[in-house]
Amino acid sequence: MWNNWIPKKVGMVAWRAEKDRLPTREALARRGIDITDASCVLCGEYVESSEHLFVACHFIQTVWQNITSWCKTLPIIAFVIRDIFGLHNFSPGSRKRKKTLQAISHIAIWSIRKTRNEVMFNNAQPNVIKVLEEVKSLGFLWVKNRSRELDLSWEDWCRFSVFE
Ligand SMILES: [Zn+2]
């Protein structure tokens, strides 16, 4: 799943999320750390596991819906993180488009984790639009600078029209 259009640290977070190696509350409790409240910091309704935080949480489902509508792909039907990372394989289009979709799915995981940490440690309010804007702007910065073969403008990127 290595994608060289994103920084290595971003790919690592995506990889760790898929392998359930991020310190979610559920993961910490499993390691015997005393967690007084294991609930998701975004919705407060379910235990914060990796699958919940990145896939099942209703806040995050709205993030994924926004991303798929921006990228003009089919809605994601995901049960595990691997389903999200497989998105590009089931989307028609060029190799560049698939690689871009894969990069975006990894950046989204990065951004969701960052949002979760800001809510948890800085009492920030989770905001779907803010996550989406961050995925768009980081994605543009990274993909434009690293892909070299793509001549991207911000307008093309926002319309996601350049890859068809
Ligand atoms: Zn939740």
C-alpha 148 – ligand 1 centre gap (Å): 37
C-alpha 45 – ligand 1 centre gap (Å): 6
C-alpha 54 – ligand 1 centre gap (Å): 9
CA distance 116 to 24: 10
124 in Cβ contact with 141 (< 8 Å)? no
Residue 117 falls inside a structural domain: yes
CA distance 150 to 52: 34
C-alpha 55 – ligand 1 centre gap (Å): 9
Phi-psi category of 32—alpha, beta or left, where left has phi over 0 and alpha has psi -120 to 50?
Answer: left
Residue 105 falls inside a structural domain: yes
Domain count, the chain: 1
Residue 38 falls inside a structural domain: yes
Residue 130's domain spans which residues? Answer: 8-159
- What percentage of residues in the chain have a pLDDT greater than 70? 98
Tell me if the pTM is above 0.85: yes
Per residue in 25-56, pLDDT (tens digit) is: 999 999 999 989 999 999 999 999 999 999 99
Residue 164 falls inside a structural domain: no
C-alpha 39 – ligand 1 centre gap (Å): 8
C-alpha 63 – ligand 1 centre gap (Å): 12
Tokens matching residue 85: 């990372």
C-alpha 89 – ligand 1 centre gap (Å): 27
Q: What letters, b where the CB count within 10 A reaches 16 and e where it falls short, cover 114-144?
A: ebbebbeeeeeebeeeebbebbbebbbebbb
Residue 128 falls inside a structural domain: yes
CA distance 52 to 94: 31
Residue 71 falls inside a structural domain: yes
Residue 131 falls inside a structural domain: yes
Per residue in 73-123, pLDDT (tens digit) is: 888 888 888 888 887 777 888 888 999 999 999 999 999 999 999 999 999
Distances (CA, A) of 117 to 17, 25, 68, 99: 14, 12, 24, 27
Per residue in 51-87, pLDDT (tens digit) is: 999 999 999 999 999 999 999 888 888 888 888 888 7
